[in-house]
Amino acid sequence: MQWLHPEPGLMNDKIDTESFKGLNLLRQTRISHRNLNDLIDRLSHDPLVDQLKVRRLKKKRLLLKDMIIRLESELIPDLDA
């Protein structure tokens, strides 16, 4: 059963490891975005909260969303290759 033992020197293990790291980072970023979103929602209902703080949190949430989009894009295989 040759297919069970890949040839030494193939980069399959490295690719799988890198893909896993990318998925893990994406998962952590999504969790951070969700937690920040929940915090912003709670703070937005409190009239005594500093609105500048809320705006800064919203900016951070937007940066996390952009990072999520970038990470998702990187996980899509390049079909032209």
E strand intervals along 1-81: none
Provide the residue range defining the domain that includes 65.
27-74
Report the pLDDT value the prediction gives residue 4, as an integer from 0 to 100. Answer: 52
Residue 37 lies in a domain: yes
State the pLDDT at residue 12. 52
Which pLDDT does position 81 carry in this prediction? 58
User: According to the model, what pLDDT value does residue 1 have?
Assistant: 42
Containing 1, the helix (H) or strand (E) segment is none
Q: Is residue 31 in a domain?
A: yes
The two three-digit tokens of residue 66, written as one number: 């952009």
Number of domains in the chain: 1
Terminal-to-terminal C-alpha distance of the chain: 29
pTM above 0.95, yes or no: no
pLDDT mean values, one per 10 residues, the chain (81 residues): 49 62 92 97 93 96 97 82 58
- pLDDT at position 21 is 83
